[in-house]
Amino acid sequence: MIFKSIPSLSAAVLLFLAHIGCCLVPILAIAGGTLPQFSFWVEYSPYILFLQSCMLIYLSIKLIRHHFGKGRFHSNADRMIYYIGWMVAASTLAIGYFEPFHNENQQIAQQQFQFFKTHRRIQIKINEPFEVNYVKKDLALINGIRTSSLAIKDKRIWITYHKETTSREEIMRVLLQKGYDVTLQE
């Protein structure tokens, strides 16, 4: 009798540890995004996601088999534990994916990172006298330039542009075609 219990006990302990890893570790990983002392959990988030997905699949298969009459639970409490485990696994997977617990500074930093990832800023010197409004109009014709962030001061223009829409070469080409004597400042 005891030899029959050893495999099921080891399976139960393994499932218990997997369930702890599936439910408790993601909560610590979420805390890692907001609290600096838990930041090491963020490094292992792909492994945690894999573990959560495996646990959710296992629980889903077990519950589906039960509903189609191919699997049984020992008691109603056992069945409820699987339902609760499925809800916790699904909710922690959703929380880990959407990460709703960002504070305002983290959200701003993420937006700034996205901006820096897709935009570039260049400085151009115009070597002759020019009319500011004409230069702004000419630059506004180039697709991808953020006209709201144009800065012109002392014959220098700071231009922010979307790197996938235009390039510094394109901006220089257009300004030279318009007749401006320009040089790119690095």
Average pLDDT over residues 1-17: 54
Residues 99-142 have pLDDT tens digits of 655 567 667 777 787 877 888 889 999 888 888 888 888 888 88
In whole angstroms, what separates CA 178 from the centre of its chain? 41
CA distance 149 to 170: 18
How far is residue 17 from each of residues 22, 44, 168, measured CA to CA in Å? 8, 17, 55
CA distance 106 to 108: 5
Average pLDDT over residues 85-95: 76
Instruction: Please name the fold of domain 110-185.
Output: Alpha-Beta Plaits (3.30.70)
- Residues 6 or more apart whose CB falls under 8 angstroms from that of 163 comprise 118, 119, 120
Range name among 13-22, 39-48, 61-70, 129-138 with the lowest pLDDT average = 13-22
Segments making up each domain of the chain, as ranges: 2-101, 110-185
Confidence of residue 7 (pLDDT cuts 50, 70, 90): low
Is residue 53 scored above 70 in pLDDT? Answer: yes
Is residue 166 scored above 70 in pLDDT? Answer: yes
Range name among 32-36, 42-46, 97-101, 168-172 with the lowest pLDDT average = 32-36
